[in-house]
Chain A
Amino acid sequence: DAGVTQSPTHLIKTRGQQVTLRCSPKSGHDTVSWYQQALGQGPQFIFQYYEEEERQRGNFPDRFSGHQFPNYSSELNVNALLLGDSALYLCASCRGGNTEAFFGQGTRLTVV
């Protein structure tokens, strides 16, 4: 079992551009959550997807959007990138109801 896999590992984008990050959940998991971890900070919840719909959302602007596919994989899209969007983006997956959330190794996004 490969666990939660995220791609790419690292990414450099220019301010104003758009970016798409990808996450494949652990085998058997159907729920995917995304977190932003700025340098020196704890992860902050962006949103969670279940059954291809956004189920919960944290305090992030509409520039942050997502999608979940029928195979449970997920994408995080960020539009109009700002320097402050530079962070480690973590994906976590779990199986609906009372199961541990497993985290991927993250995508390091640098906005220049």
Chain B
Amino acid sequence: GEDVEQSLFLSVREGDSSVINCTYTDSSSTYLYWYKQEPGAGLQLLTYIFSNMDMKQDQRLTVLLNKKDKHLSLRIADTQTGDSAIYFCAEGKDFGNEKLTFGTGTRLTIIP
């Protein structure tokens, strides 16, 4: 079946890099996503990676995918207070028209 796991909490000092990790079980996953949820808000798509890629960089965000170990990570460089949020890893098989399976989310807290 499909299962996505994340650690629940991460605290990082302002200006440092944050690394949020995720593991998934469905080897047929085609797309892997990172979403951000701020208090009282819906989900915002930050970035995604296609399963045949190892890495994707988008400004301060770097996504690494180890398909063999089914491990996904999101690195946020130069973490700022505005990055405080819950980050969800999700997997899917068909970009856009699909059922997404989400992890439980990692709450990122920035220490001044």
Contacts and interface: CB of A to CB of B under 8 A. Distances in A.
Contacts of B100: 33, 35, 43, 45, 101
Q: Find the residue from B40, B90, B100, B105 having the highest chain A CB count within 10 A.
A: B100
A104 B103 CA distance: 19
Q: Find the residue from B40, B97, B101, B104 having the highest chain A CB count within 10 A.
A: B97
Contacts of B101: 45
Nearest to B101: A45
Contact of A42 (B41, B44, B102): B102
B25 to A, nearest CB: 14
B43 interface: yes
Interface in A71-112: 90, 92, 94-106
Contact of A90 (B43, B96, B99, B104): B43
Chain B interface residue bracket vs A: 20 to 34
A44 B3 CA distance: 11
A111 B3 CA distance: 28
B34 interface: no
Q: Find the residue from A35, A94, A101 having the highest chain B CB count within 10 A.
A: A101
Interface string B15-44: 000000000000000000001000011111
A95 B97 CA distance: 8
Nearest to B48: A100
Contacts of B42: 4, 90, 103-106
